[in-house]
Amino acid sequence: MAVPVARPTRHRSAPPPASGPRRRRSGRTVPGPRRRTGSVVPVPAPPRIAAARRPAAPRPAHRRTAATARR
């Protein structure tokens, strides 16, 4: 006999449940779904993506060369 499952598994390509407050037709907002934190192990982002998230290194000011100064 088939055993009923509490939560049906979502399709792999399905978007995550929408976060953030939901607005009812009455106008009042309802808090979004509570995040189920548990056995989620943080995976470090690939170096290219991690570097993009970091603020860019300050660029040195453009220096006038001797040739430009003479002109």
Q: Which residue has the tokens 């449940």?
A: 17
**Measured distance CA(52)–CA(59) in Å, rounded:** 16
Q: Which residues of the chain have a pLDDT value below 50?
A: none
pLDDT of residue 62: 76
pLDDT of residue 15: 65
Q: Which residue has the tokens 């009455």?
A: 26
CA angle 12, 54, 59 (to 5 degrees): 145
